[in-house]
Amino acid sequence: MAIRLEWMDKHRQLVEKIIKYGNAYAHVYNKQWDYHTNIVFSAAQIQVLEYVLENENQKMSEIAKRLGITRSAFSKNVKKLIDKDLLEKFHSHDNQKDIFLRVTAQGEEVYSQYSKYIFEKCFREMFEVADQIPQQYLELMAKMLDNFAEQMIYHTNLK
């Protein structure tokens, strides 16, 4: 007797594409590659670098939460980026307990090279399609994906 997928109703194609994307991303997430820069790094590491560029005044734990990864995984990637001279740690003048991160000059240069390459190879076409979608629908899509990610994180942490 075959088990049916009726519970997905009209959303089967969407679920299939999310699964396909998740599998593809999982395949490359920790692989080291140069992305046409002079340093090799993984997608996981470039995400950390990107979020630090965007959030230099946030604590490490806050950035890890925003990325949806454990503090341990975040710390491992931070260490690798520090070893590659792409990031540096520092403490706040008024609170020596909290650790903050800053992107080095080399990190900014590598990110600049990476972003030009990745835009052309991966994001240009996606953004062209996204430009055809009204902003309110893009916001709904982002909310849907965020909710899905939060549920996945919540259910994995129940163990």
Q: Write down the pLDDT at residue 47.
A: 93
The DSSP line for 88-140 is EEEE-SS-SSSEEEEE-HHHHHHHHHHHHHHIIIIIHHHHHHHTTS-HHHHHH
Residue 11: both structure tokens together? 């959303």
pLDDT tens track for 22-73: 999 999 999 999 999 999 999 999 999 999 999 877 888 888 888 888 889 9
Q: Is-above-0.85 flag for pTM?
A: no
Task: For residues 78-99, give the mean pLDDT.
Answer: 88
Find out whether 101 and 88 touch, Cβ atoms under 8 Å. yes
- Domain 28-129 class, CATH top level: mainly alpha
Which residues are CB-neighbours of 145 under 8 A, at least 6 positions away? 18
